[in-house]
Amino acid sequence: MRSPSKAAPPAMRADARKNYEHLLAVARKIVLKEGVDASLRDIARKAGVGLGTLYRHFPTREALLETLLRTEWDELIAKARALEGAGAPDEALVSWLRDFVAAVRTYRGVVTSMTSAFADETSALHASCAAIRAVCNQLLVRAQTEGTARNDLDGTDLFALVGALAWIGDQPALASRAGALFDVVMGAVFDGRALPPKKTAQLRPAGVF
Amino acid sequence: MRSPSKAAPPAMRADARKNYEHLLAVARKIVLKEGVDASLRDIARKAGVGLGTLYRHFPTREALLETLLRTEWDELIAKARALEGAGAPDEALVSWLRDFVAAVRTYRGVVTSMTSAFADETSALHASCAAIRAVCNQLLVRAQTEGTARNDLDGTDLFALVGALAWIGDQPALASRAGALFDVVMGAVFDGRALPPKKTAQLRPAGVF
DNA sequence: ACCTGAACACCGTTCAAGT
DNA sequence: ACCTGAACACCGTTCAAGT
């Protein structure tokens, strides 16, 4: 009669599941405080569990992060689906991106982990990254065809910009301006109808840098 | 008759100076390849020097980075001075910011070190950060009063945005778009004459995020 | 005045041995 | 089937001892 513990792993012996659940709770608390580079040893220690146990449940640090962020990913994807057909395309995209930044900022440094996982198919975070990028891309395409999003950007560009904003939020010295700068950058993503071929033409050299 | 080795430390015994110089050269090569988190132990080892020697010349990792970037800082400040009176204010600012990003990207991860040093007066990088921010601010103010830079941003905001772009450049999966995204963000910094009080008003909620 | 390297307290990761 | 912790190869940092 036990309720199906959300996102719990498949068949698992009772004692193992208990370990797993507790480990995850402790890990969440520690990573929340220390960020993604928290000591795995410390997590195992504080959870009262052998190091090997942690490693079997989460063979890599990314696997642990992936599990810690499971809920956030699911909510982001659900939200994207909800926004897809409804409301103004531009507002839908911005609203979703804002949530994305908030989700990524749950744990300090996670945006850098995600970016690494982006191009690394062997990473436990890769699948989530790809899924997130896919829904992001859909929202973007709609905002480009039906809204005013500039069409010289793709999903990866948006991911980069929003990741960069999350990075700002991760820096204590800059975090207080993260919200305002989010708006500034969004202003650049929607640069007005039909987008003139070179909005940034005044800036010249471009390219190399 | 020896030429005054540029940026060399003050009085120093001949053998010590030789160690110092060689250490720095080896460190440069390694940090260039490994980024700012390169193993200090490894640097000392490859330089054929005791660990203590490295620590006396560079009591902290930041002190080493500061020395490695000395040239870049000086050039950036000189360039700012040169740009100050001359040329179009907007172009001057953008051109300088581009150079700033390029300089920071010399060593992977340096932008995060700088940002930490920003609010930490005890950091060996702090003075350089402050100096850089100061000249950045001057260029910004001129672009705001004589050019078209929006005036709801200050030097720290610009530092954050440009740091974020450098962060993008540090991520292998995103680096190829760093140049284009630099232009995109610059487009948001110069949002046209006299700046309407709310260019991003369409985006609504603002604030919290 | 300068240098060395052992010592200490940490890591991440693996894997034999236990229950 | 699951767990533990020693073992290994690394860190950063300090500091007594050497020249």
Per-domain residue ranges for chain A? 14-58, 70-203
Q: From CA A118, how far away is CA A132, in angstroms rounded?
A: 11
Confidence at A192, pLDDT banded by 50, 70, 90: low
| Confidence (pLDDT) at B13 | 84
pTM of the shown model = 0.88
For residue B17, what are the contacts with CB-CB under 8 A and spacing of at least 6?
Answer: B5, B8, B9
User: For the domain A14-58, what is the CATH superfamily, name and number?
Assistant: Homeodomain-like (1.10.10.60)
DSSP string, A21-39: HHHHHHHHHHHHHH-TT--
Average pLDDT of chain B to the nearest whole number? 88
Inspect the interface and report whether the beta carbons of B189 and A191 lie closer than 8 Å. Answer: no
The pLDDT tens digits of the residues spanning B116-174 come to 999 999 999 999 999 999 999 999 999 999 999 999 999 999 999 999 999 999 999 99
Q: From CA A108, how far away is CA A37, in angstroms rounded?
A: 9
State how far the alpha carbon of B177 is from the alpha carbons of A154, B42, B165, B181, B192, in Å.
10, 33, 10, 6, 25
B166 or B202: which carries more pLDDT confidence? B166
Q: From CA B56, how far away is CA B43, in angstroms rounded?
A: 14
Please, which positions of strand C sit below 7 A from a protein CB? 1-7, 10-16
Task: For B70-203, give the CATH class.
Answer: mainly alpha
Residue A85 has, within 13 A of its CA and on its CB side, a CA count of 1
- Give SS3 for B159: helix
| Confidence (pLDDT) at A87 | 87
What is the distance in angstroms measured between the alpha-carbon CA of B176 and the sugar C1' of C11?
33
Q: Is A151 on the interface with B (CB under 8 A)?
A: no
| Confidence (pLDDT) at B114 | 97
The pLDDT tens digits of the residues spanning A21-66 come to 999 999 999 999 999 999 999 999 999 999 999 999 999 999 999 9
Q: Is A88 on the interface with B (CB under 8 A)?
A: no
The lowest-confidence range among A27-36, A144-153, B200-209 is B200-209
Q: What angle do CA A82, A87, A90 make, to 5 degrees?
A: 105
The pLDDT tens digits of the residues spanning B34-64 come to 999 999 999 999 999 999 999 999 999 999 9
| Confidence (pLDDT) at A174 | 98
Q: Considering only the C-alpha atoms of chain A, give the largest distance between any 2 of them, rounded to a whole number of Å.
A: 67
Q: Considering only the C-alpha atoms of chain B, give the largest distance between any 2 of them, rounded to a whole number of Å.
A: 67
For residue A137, pLDDT over 60 is answered with yes
- Give SS3 for A113: helix
Q: Is B185 on the interface with A (CB under 8 A)?
A: yes
Q: From CA B167, how far away is CA B186, in angstroms rounded?
A: 16
Residue A99 DSSP one-character state: H
| Confidence (pLDDT) at A9 | 61
Confidence at B2, pLDDT banded by 50, 70, 90: very low
